[in-house]
Amino acid sequence: MQAMGQFFSWVKSNEKQILVTLDDLAKKAVEVSEAVVVMLSDLSKDGHHKKIHTLETQADSLVREIFSELNRTFITPLDREDMQRVASKIDDTIDHMDGIASRLHSYKITTPPPHALDIAKELVKATKEVELMTSKLRNIKNPSTMLEHCRKTSAIEHKVDDLYKLAMSELFEGTDAIQIIKLKDIYESLETASDKCVDVADVVEDIVLKYT
């Protein structure tokens, strides 16, 4: 009987750990978004992209840990597929932000592209909303609060879209074709990273509606 109690204690501990690690992954997305803002605020300083890539590598380790735990645990706090989807979508967001840093470095951008810093600051807000909604997956008692985080993420994405359209409109007024191609790629990466945050929100909303 004692052995059975210890077994169920291990199961419950394992369940909790999966969601803790998922929350750690969401926090890593916030770290990466904040690092992108720092990079865009001071492009003259070298090494920003390396720091961001290190954070992205750490995030990959967390994703592997989540998938490994899900494969080893036969009782999970939420549907296995749902947690896999949340982890994958957060990972996509981080990958795209890492791509932004990589492009800024490889294209040798030394001056922040117009509106890029503003978009990056909105990305920080979006990743913080993602972290808030992810942390609440441990105990879905207030679905309206979680859905509000989803709505806020969508509102941020709309603001990013407006900034993106403005940036692209101004960009094509220029005459340097090479620079236009480089900055277009960076703007598109910023906008896609924002879209990925909404993808996380969509999955979380599905989970909330399923369990409440």
Full DSSP string of 120-169: HHHHHHHHHHHHHHHHGGG----HHHHHHHHHHHHHHHHHHHHHHHHHHH
Categorize the per-residue pLDDT at 7 as very low, low, confident or very high, splitting at 50, 70 and 90. Answer: very low
Distance CA 169, CA 27 (A): 33
pLDDT tens, position by position, 155-164: 999 999 999 9
pLDDT tens, position by position, 65-76: 999 988 886 556
Residue of higher predicted confidence among 212 and 26: 26
Distance CA 70, CA 96 (A): 25
Categorize the per-residue pLDDT at 77 as very low, low, confident or very high, splitting at 50, 70 and 90. Answer: low
DSSP assigned state of 43: T
pLDDT at 142 over 80: no
Q: Are 140 and 211 in contact (CB under 8 A)?
A: yes
Residue of higher predicted confidence among 186 and 10: 186
pLDDT tens, position by position, 166-182: 999 999 998 999 999 99
What pTM did the predictor assign? 0.89
